Amino acid sequence: MPSQRRVTRLAPSPTGGLHLGNARTFLVNWALARQRGWQIAMRIDDLDSPRVRAGADREALDDLAWLGLDWDTEVDYQTRRLADYEAALVRLAADGSIYPCRCTRSQIAARIASAPNAGDHELRYPGSCRPVERQAFDFSELKNSGWAWRLRVSDRAVEFVDQIFGPQSVSVFDEVGDFLVATKQGCASYQLAVNLDDDFSGVTDIVRGNDLLTSTARQILIREALGMNNKITYWHLPLVAGEDGMRLAKRHGATRLSELREAGVPAERIIGLLAHWSGLSTATPRTAQQFATDFDISHLPHERVTLTSQHLEILRPSGW
Ligand code: GLU
């Protein structure tokens, strides 16, 4: 029997322009896929409607194509699958895997103010609305009543192996407790939707920034609750940060691909810098194709990459 074809996905969020850190993650994802013959699905993660910016989907696709990346499917949009998300929520509510919750953030904060982890930026849900026993709910009936929905999280640790960071054991129960799977408007959360999206495209390999490493355990719990197989291989890549240790933002200079492109910086020079950040010895300009030929995942540095002014100088030598 032929073995199952491996599938990965590129999943930009259309909330702002792609920056050099996003570009590094997408380039490595793409190169791994092209080296290993994986299919690449393209998906726009446009569920987070307050943050979605009109036209940012097109911009992200153009930026990636300009860098020399390509993909093997039509572009998929999360917002085309709202009915599937709802069907999953109906199912999870009916079997008692999720429950409605009306707590506000400030109520949760007040309830745990004296708890040991108070002060961590992510609040652990103290379980105020959690039914003592699993209980069936009718999602369709309650979805417009202003209730958010939480997954009933078990207290056992979730174990998985990350291809970059090795074996992981995460207690979602201790870290965040019962987390949100749908908003008060009845819309699926990112944590829920992404599993249905990946399943829909037959994704076998998820390559993404390690800011999402903590989400993986939550997503595994949702996959289990939905009865999905968990044959996904995870590759979490170290992030790129500014010299102040913070995620890339405007204050770090022109790091958006669209800005660099408009300023006339050639894509090959950007790939050269991304290659240098990915374990290749020099920042020599090269095409994405050449990167895919030379890149070796075993040489990818495991530390966070720091963008310095010297790096920006590589992109725009002699005064820009
Ligand atoms: N759309 C997310 C991002 O741009 C990626 C989601 C995922 O990889 O699961 O960070």
The per-residue b/e assignment along 207-239, b for 16 or more CB within 10 angstroms, e otherwise, is bbbbebbebbbbbbbbbebeebeeebebbbbbb
Residue 215 CA: nearest ligand 1 atom is: 9
For residue range 146-204, what is the model confidence (pLDDT) as tens digits?
Answer: 999 999 999 999 999 999 999 999 999 999 999 999 999 999 999 999 999 999 999 99
**H or E stretch at 72:** none
- What is the average pLDDT across 291-302? 96
pLDDT-derived band at 60 (thresholds 50, 70, 90) equals very high
Q: Is the pLDDT of residue 143 over 80?
A: yes
Mutate to test the pocket of ligand 1, among 19, 194, 213 (most ligand atoms within 8 A of CB): 194
Distance 11 CA to ligand 1 centre (A): 5
Protein residue closest via CA to atom 8 of ligand 1:
208
Average pLDDT for the chain: 92
Which is the closest atom of ligand 1 to the Cα of 211? Answer: 10
Å from CA of 318 to ligand 1 middle: 35
Ligand 1 contacts (CB < 6 A) are 11-13, 45, 194, 208, 212
Q: Please report where in the chains the tokens 């910016």 appear, as a residue.
A: 53
Beta bridge mates, 151: 98
Distance separating alpha carbons of residues 17 and 255, to the nearest angstrom: 10
Give residue 152 CA to ligand 1 midpoint distance, Å.
24
Instruction: Say if CB 21 and CB 247 are below 8 A apart.
Output: yes
pLDDT surpassing 80 at residue 320: no
Q: Are 46 and 57 contacting, i.e. CB atoms less than 8 angstroms apart?
A: yes
> Do 309 and 252 meet the contact criterion of CB atoms below 8 Å apart?
no
Strands 240-241, 305-306: parallel, antiparallel or unpaired by DSSP?
parallel
Identify the sign of the CA torsion 253, 258, 264, 268. Answer: positive
User: 85-141, pLDDT tens digit by residue?
Assistant: 999 999 999 999 999 999 988 888 787 764 544 444 678 999 999 999 999 999 999
Predicted confidence at residue 64, as pLDDT, reads 98
Continuous segment of H or E residues that includes residue 250: none
- Looking from the CA of residue 9, the nearest atom of ligand 1 is 8
CA 187/CA 148 separation, integer angstroms:
9
Contact 93, 104 (CB under 8 A): no
Residue type, 145: S
pLDDT over 90 for what percent of the chain? Answer: 79
Among 212, 215, 219, 248, name the best residue to mutate to test ligand 1's pocket (greatest count of ligand atoms within 8 A of Cβ): 212
pLDDT at 117: 44
Output the CA 220–ligand 1 centroid distance in Å. Answer: 15
Could you tell me the distance, in angstroms and rounded to a whole number, from the CA of residue 206 to the centre of ligand 1? 10
Backbone angles phi, psi at 116, to 5 degrees: -55, -35
- Centre of ligand 1 to C-alpha 43, Å, is 10
Closest atom, ligand 1, to C-alpha of 209: 10
- Higher pLDDT pick, 49 / 210: 210
Tokens 């020399």, residue?
A: 68
Domains defined for the chain, CATH in brackets? 7-74+238-315 (3.40.50.620), 81-201 (3.90.800.10)
Provide the pLDDT for residue 118: 44
Cα 13 to ligand 1 centroid, rounded to whole Å: 7
CB-facing half-sphere around the CA of 10: CA atoms within 13 A: 32
Q: From the CA of 22, give the closest atom in ligand 1.
A: 4
Report how far ligand 1's centroid is from the alpha carbon of 212 (Å).
8
Bridge-partner residues for 43, per DSSP? 76
pLDDT digits (tens, 9 = 90+) for 17-45: 899 999 999 999 999 999 999 999 999 99
Q: Is the pLDDT of residue 2 over 60?
A: no
* Residue 274 token pair: 């991304």
pTM passes above 0.85: yes
Nearest to residue 111, comparing CAs of 124, 98, 130? Answer: 124
**Burial class, 167, CB count within 10 angstroms (exposed 0-12 / middle 13-18 / buried 19+):** exposed
User: What's the 199 CA to ligand 1 centre distance in angstroms?
Assistant: 15
φ, ψ for residue 98 (rounded to 5)? Answer: -130, 160
| Nearest-angstrom CA–CA distance, 307 and 240 | 7
Which numbered atom of ligand 1 lies nearest the CA of 198? 9
